[in-house]
A and B are shown apart, each in its own frame.
Chain A
Amino acid sequence: MNNKKKRLRSFRCGPLALLVFAGTAGAQSQPNSNEAIAQAFAQAGGATPQVVAQPDGSTRIEWHGNATVDVYGNKINSAGGTTTSPLTSGTFGRSVFQSDLRGIGPGGDVSQFQLGMTFSNDRSVLSQTSHQINNLQLGRAGPNYQISVGDVMPNFSTLSSALGVRGLMASRQFGNTGVSGYTGVVAESWEALGEQIYRNQLVREVYGVKVDHAITPGLKVFATGQEGSDRSDSITAPGVIGTLQPARVRAGSGGLTYQDGPWQLSTEAAMSGYEQTGLPGRHGHAFVADGSWRGTTVTLRSGFHDIDTNFVSLSTAAQAGIKEGYVGGDWTAASWLSLGSDLRRTKLATLDFAGIPSTITRTDSGSARATVNLGPNWPGWTGNLQQAESRIFDALGQRARNEQSSAGVNYASPTWTSGFNYGLSKVRSAGAALSDSDTESYQLMLGRSFSNANANEPASWTLNLNTSGGMQRQHLLAGGDTVTTNYSVGISGQNTRYGSLNLIFTGGEITQLTGLPALRQRGVQLEALHPLSARAAVKVYSRDIQRNIGDPLSGATERVTGIQLSYTL
């Protein structure tokens, strides 16, 4: 306990805390408020911060964070250059820093400062710069308000605003009514926004507001309004300047959510306006409704989405031109049998644009699945069956069909694991008949675990041996087969004192239709981790992968050796 207390950081003592969280920690202790907030963390599914009441009445919490530093050398030999390997030869470094600092004041307010950064000179990690801000957020939340600055994520609803914004977001609860708003910009990164690197996309200024009102504890109605407008001269990448015309988006929506016992329903209707320089403006509409009923043994769900091709909003989830409906359900038919099925009809329309008429593609699809638990007479054994099929009718009247079937049986016990899976895939397409094929696949795995665990003490060491092998045969209806085989053998051990060791051998080959020699793969990976202290560890790793050995076009050899130091705050 003493050691744990030493690791804690007091918000009142740290200079950063003084800067960021001034005024959050008071002299009066309110353990009940703190416990309530901690319970809220737990209910939300997050790790609960450790709140420790001090003799003087103040509160301290943990500071989560970690830092890793990697130094590694690459030796790459790639026949196709960057086409066959993302890596380049050389010695590189990479460090990642993540911090999550939170304080809970006596009044129940939560202050937070989150920062994640990556530094690297390896262009396969950071393509344009030697450092980047992964995420940055500073905020404060109380019993009835929340305000955040930095990387914020307004998630008003499916059709309105659901996007990452660099800016400010705030929400406030007034009785049964809540008000949320945000303002900021959508940019590729902080570095692009600060013009440290070229901008390839227009910077979009956005803002939005949402008002929701709870009519009953389970029924809530809401309305949203948002707007986004591109900065006309914000692209700085030389080859991209002038290729994108600025646009302006306006959208408004209204909807309701209902949740009561087993019932759940959400529905929303929206309208939008879109203006782009040099093009006529367009207006779109959208409607979505999704519902579910969750009983003891049965879950049913259904939904309908209709998004106009002209609809544009600030939501990542709203895909224009989609009209679809679906029904599905899961049923625990018996203690040993679970069944599930989904049916869906989708229509995808393209935008009537620049004289090119709209085209429509229709898809009917369905899936069924069953999981069998063989019960106490066969402990550890499970089986599963799955079938999925879709039929596609494209704009030219051509048909396509995708079928996927799989069956498997698995066994798991404290010392043995095993599994066998069979899959069959059939793909037919009138528009790409040369690719029509039937593909069979088999996968087998076996694992064995050893340890010194007994009824009185947990294991101080474990040893795991795993092997797997697979074969896939693709029969092209136009003629010819390709066969892909693969195998892996893995050994891993862990000791509470010395750390862990993982060693994996892989291999396989792909036969070619052209009669050329098979493309062979081979690889070995080694990773050894040793704890230096309760918070620090060192890891040594090495990887030697050879793909398509000897092939003049696709051959590649990647040898990576490195060391990593990690430290947890």
Chain B
Amino acid sequence: MSPTIPTCSPGRLARFCLSRRLRFCLHRCLQCCALAWICLLPGAQAQGAAAPPAFELEQGARGALNTLIVAYAGNQPLLAETMLDEAMIGRQILVDQMRTSLNQQAQIQVSLRDVRSSIGDNVVAVTFSWEKRFLQIPAMTPMLRSGRAIFMWQRSAQGWRLVGISGDSPFAL
């Protein structure tokens, strides 16, 4: 059996030119060229370009995440609240989630897995899967909840503060 040799017909070429994949490739190439062009243009003013080591930022953000989880699971909501940025959008919603769940759940354990980080200038987005085990009050029934969340941490003069949550909140009921 001889192999099929693709032929280049006008119709096939037109379909390829209109295909979504080609448009995506062209679009992405255009974006990359634009970004490279921005960097290659002559700059005018020197500015401190060095960022803090990513190593340290990632460890700091993960440490803050662990501290927040431990404070919550240890039934210390007031301590956990100190790690939420005052300007965080929906801060009070999160605080009330914590207080309500702590009132109805005992022996809370939150385990994290598949932890990954995206690191910016003093900002780290930590992505993780979580599992929350607890005893449901009043019958002390063992329960398991799971989800996936992104916590965005920002380093400030007061230390690491949580500025945003996306996905499933481990602090909810």
Interface positions of A (Cβ within 8 A of B): 36-37, 40-41, 43-47, 49, 64-65, 80, 82-86, 98, 100, 102, 108-110, 112, 114, 116, 123-128, 132-135, 137, 141-147, 151-155, 158, 162-165, 168-176, 179, 181-183, 188-189, 205, 207, 288, 290, 301, 303, 305, 307, 315-319, 322, 324, 326, 328, 342, 344, 346, 348, 363, 365, 367, 386, 388, 390, 392, 400, 402, 404, 406, 423, 425, 427, 429, 432, 434-435, 437, 439, 441, 472, 474, 476, 480, 482, 484, 510, 512-514, 519, 547-548, 553-554
Contacts and interface: CB of A to CB of B under 8 A. Distances in A.
Contacts of B28: 183
Contact of B89 (A164, A307, A423, A472): A307
A125 B113 contact: yes
B53 A46 contact: yes
A261 B102 CA distance: 41
8 contacts: A98-B58, A110-B50, A116-B58, A158-B89, A168-B32, A429-B100, A484-B106, A514-B140
Interface in B52-67: 52-58
Contacts of B41: 172, 174
- Minimum-distance CB pairs A-B, first 4: A46-B52, A164-B118, A153-B120, A317-B164
Contacts of B123: 153, 155, 162
A168 B106 contact: no
B68 interface: no
Contacts of B121: 44, 155
A189 B152 contact: no
A392 B93 CA distance: 10
Given A45-B52, A305-B89, A402-B100, A135 B58 contact: yes
Contact of B104 (A116, A124, A435, A472): A435
Given A162-B123, A164-B127, A317-B152, A392 B96 contact: yes
Interface in B8-35: 24, 28, 31-32, 34-35
B104 A390 contact: no
A168 B35 contact: yes
Contacts of B144: 82-83
B168 interface: no
Contacts of B118: 135, 151-153, 163-165
B5 interface: no
Contacts of A152: 118, 120
A124 B128 CA distance: 12
A234 to B, nearest CB: 12
Contact of B119 (A109, A137, A290): A137
B58 to A, nearest CB: 6
A375 B100 CA distance: 38
Contacts of B48: 36-37, 40, 43-44, 143
Contacts of A319: 89-90, 93, 164-165
B47 A344 contact: no
Interface residues of B, number: 83
Contacts of A346: 90, 92-93
A141 B114 contact: no
A147 B53 CA distance: 15
B172 interface: no
A153 B122 CA distance: 10
A163 B87 contact: no
B39 A170 contact: yes
B3 interface: no
B120 A183 contact: no
Contacts of B103: 425, 427, 435, 437, 439, 474
B78 A404 contact: yes
B54 A112 contact: yes
Nearest to B88: A317
B138 A513 contact: yes
A86 B92 contact: no
Contacts of B81: 367, 388
A322 B165 CA distance: 14
Contact of A84 (B90, B93, B102, B133): B133
B106 A510 contact: yes
B45 A151 contact: no
Nearest to A364: B92
B55 A124 contact: no
A510 B134 CA distance: 13
Interface in B90-132: 90-93, 95-96, 99-100, 102-104, 106-107, 109, 111, 113-125, 127, 129, 131
Interface in B120-173: 120-125, 127, 129, 131, 133, 135, 137-144, 148, 150, 152, 155, 163-166
Given A176-B45, A472-B75, 12 more contacts: A64-B53, A82-B144, A85-B133, A100-B55, A102-B53, A114-B119, A135-B118, A135-B119, A155-B123, A168-B35, A429-B100, A554-B140
Contacts of A326: 86
B113 A41 contact: no
Contacts of A324: 89-92
A144 B92 contact: no
B141 to A, nearest CB: 7
B1 interface: no
A127 B56 contact: no
Contact of B44 (A123, A142, A175): A175
A439 to B, nearest CB: 7
A102 B52 CA distance: 11
B43 interface: yes
Given A326-B86, A392-B96, A427-B99, A174 B44 contact: yes
A526 to B, nearest CB: 20
A165 B138 CA distance: 43
B119 A46 contact: no
A72 to B, nearest CB: 16
A116 B152 contact: no
